[in-house]
Amino acid sequence: MVKQIDYTFPQGFLWGSSTSAPQSEGTIPGDGKGLNNWDYWYSIDPDKFHNHIGPEKAAEFYQNYQEDIKFLKQTGHTVFRTSIQWARLLPQGTGEVNQKAVEFYRDMFRRINAEGVKLMINLYHFDIPFALEEQGGWENKATVKAYEEYAKICFKEFGDLVDTWITFNEPIVPVECGYLYQYHYPCKVDPKAAVQVAYNTQLASALAVKACHEANPDHKISIVLNLTPAYPRSSHPADQKAARIAELFQAKSFLDPSVLGEYPKELVELVKKHDLTPDTTPEELAIMKENTVDFLGVNYYQPLRVAAPQYLANPESPFFPTVYYDHYQMPGRKMNPHRGWEIYERGIYDIAMNLKENYDNIEWILTENGMGVEGEEKFKVDGMIHDDYRIDFIKGHLKELHRAIADGANCQGYLLWTFIDCWSWLNAFKNRYGLVELDLKTAEKTIKKSGHWFKELSDNNGF
């Protein structure tokens, strides 16, 4: 009996997953990797991390990559996104290159190429070398220069194996979590620094785009943004304004300069109103204008629902974007009961139409979408996790993506977060997202039901 396919995707559509180096590789003695911000933070404050699990082991991909890569084809990958650890390649952030890192990444990339899997390589996934953090990190424009040099080294060392690059993953996250909400090191509450960090990151991204095109004009380079739509509570003008401003800070702060080459005027005025304008130069703004991305990576997990603020802000409080909106919990929303996040598949369609209508229908790839589950081992039957909930989650989002493509969206692929269950910042291994299970006690890796289903999805180019 021939399997009926109701949702067929365009020819050449890419299927795969995303992970990051700091969340998957781990560190072993003698590997030459330098300390990064996460290594340092865990060393001084392990209580912050779920079950006191830091980044030292992660998914142990560094020492097991030769075997782990074989899971790619077994789970239907035609594309795979991971990152390079800046502190592994340049232990001090600048200066001497760690040749063990060059050998590791070149061999890994060669093996993935040999599997017929397209590589998307990200230069930065929340992990700054601690030597640079000690000098001010992303608050310091010297870090921008250091990042540019790091990017150039990557293009030189790996450009024959990688033709699709990413400058930053979700750059708004370190801004908010590191300088407002204290979920990332350096755990500051400093809105002025937050805005400068955002600006410096955007400048670094543009410089990497420029360097990539100079190294090889045929190579494509992107930035990955979590373009969470902001949905207003109601049609009331105050709620509509709250959603517009929330989206300015959360999404458009990086989307507009990355794709259009300049910041939204309303955002610039809001930043100025609160005396947070960053240190800029006309030359830097010109670099941003002239070096926009070739395509876009889009991450989507859940919607951002907002309402007009219920109370006036405390005039003595430091500035937070939430001075303009309250988070809103919509009654009757569909939930992932294992993670506490709302499931709203329509968000993908709305992102797609926004990019089509307001951003020149730029080519994009859905680079992250996934379902985190705590206590997933309870769904194990006969040695395999039966994660039908994850299959249903993916199907629901793919239906909306299929609808968007039918309506003209320029989406070229779908990447699930993640490949093998990975370590996740302060949450460590609390929530599992992988197509492949990682047993923390034995380090054994086993394909989940969703991994076998994903292979069928890829083979059939639909479901």
**Helical axes 388-406 vs 346-358, angle rounded to 10°:** 30
Q: Which residues are catalytic?
A: 170, 368
Cβ neighbours of 281 (radius 10 Å): 10
Place of tokens 């968000």: 347
Q: Which of 224, 217, 230 is nearest to 291 (CA)?
A: 217
State which fold the 14-460 domain adopts. Answer: TIM Barrel (3.20.20)
Nearest to 295 by CA among 164, 453, 147: 164
pLDDT value, residue 246: 98
Quote the pLDDT of residue 310: 96
Alpha-carbon span 72 to 451, nearest angstrom: 10
pLDDT, residue 4, reads: 83
pLDDT lower than 50: segments of the chain: none
DSSP for 33-96, written as a single string: PPPBHHHHHHHH-GGGSGGG--TTTTT-HHHHHHHHTHHHHHTT-SEEEEE--HHHHSTTSSSS
The number of residues in the chain equals: 463
Q: Is 411 exposed, middle or buried (0-12, 13-18, 19+ CB in 10 A)?
A: buried
The residues, ordered by sequence, that sit 6+ positions from 119 with a Cβ below 8 Å of its Cβ are 79, 80, 81, 109, 112, 113, 161, 162, 163, 164
Tokens 């197509």: give the residue. Answer: 435
Interval 407-447: pLDDT, tens: 999 999 999 999 999 999 999 999 999 999 999 999 999 99
Spatial separation of the C-alpha atoms in residues 55 and 360, rounded to whole Å: 40
Q: Which residues contact 161 (CB under 8 A, 6 or more apart)?
A: 106, 109, 110, 113, 119
Contact criterion met (CB below 8 Å) for 459 and 403: no
What pLDDT does residue 1 have? 59
Over its C-alpha atoms, the chain yields an Rg (Å, rounded) of 21
> d(Cα 225, Cα 122) in Å, to the nearest integer?
12
End-to-end CA distance of the chain: 15
Euclidean distance between CA atoms 49 and 463, whole angstroms: 39
Pairing of strands 411-417, 164-169: unpaired
Distance CA 86, CA 241 (A): 40
- Provide the sign of the torsion angle of the four alpha carbons 288, 145, 90, 37, taken in this order: negative
Domain ranges of the chain: 14-460
Q: What is the pLDDT of residue 5?
A: 81
Q: How big is the CA angle at 19 (ends 374 and 441), to the nearest 5 degrees?
A: 50
